[in-house]
Structure formats: structure tokens, C-alpha cells
Structure 1
Amino acid sequence: MAGGHGGHPIHIHPVRPLYRIAATGLGASMWFFLMYRAKKDGAVLLGWRHPFEH
């Protein structure tokens, strides 16, 4: 098998804290934006209201 030293042949390095924080922040901002747009345009998206009605 690959490696030849026993154990698993693939070594995965730990994630740096900066990348983990950045990924969490970007993911959270994405979901906040999606929920904000769903609040504003959700009825139109689901067909409950026409977009040209005010």
C-alpha cells in the first residue's frame, strides 16, 4: 500500500484559525442575506404575490 509505514496514506493538516473564522463569518453573512431577501421577496418567490403589486 501507499506510504509503507502503516497507518493512513493521506495526511490532512489542521485548519488555521483565520480560515475557520473567515469561513464561519462568510457562511453566516450568506445566510443572513438569504433570510433578509426571503423576508423582502419571499411571497413573490413562492407565488403568493405578484411582483408588480405594491
Structure 2
Amino acid sequence: MAGAHPIHIHPVRPFYAMSAKLLGASMWFFLMYRAKKDGAVLLGLKHPWDH
């Protein structure tokens, strides 16, 4: 019984690994873009109605 583990994890297919990296990177780029545009409002340094 030594070395025989009941759970076998299959390797990740390259398509899924690349698409996960692409979607993760696009999420962070969008978050940084919105932080650049609305960061001061979110932190309370500027009011959204002040132009």
C-alpha cells in the first residue's frame, strides 16, 4: 500500500494554462486602468461630483 495514493491529478492542458494567464492578465490590466481613473474617488481624496 505504500506509494499508492487514491487521488491522481492530471496535468493541465496548455490551452487552459494559457487562457487562464490571458484572462488573469486582462483582469489586472482592467483593474489598474480603473484604479488610474477612479483611484482618488475610491480612497476618498476626491469627490465624484467635483470636476
What is the TM-score with the length of structure 2 in the denominator? 0.92
Matched with 1:17 is: 14
Report the Cα distance in structure 2 between the residues aligned to 1:22 and 1:48, rounded to whole angstroms. 37
CA RMSD of aligned residues (A): 1.3
Identity across aligned pairs (percent)?
75
Matched with 2:38 is: 41
**Structure 2 portions without partners, runs of 5+:** none
**Structure 1 portions without partners, runs of 5+:** none
Runs of 4+ off more than 3 Å: none
| Structure (1 or 2) with the larger CA radius of gyration | 1
Q: What is the deviation of 1:42?
A: 0.2
Indicate the structure with greater helix content.
2
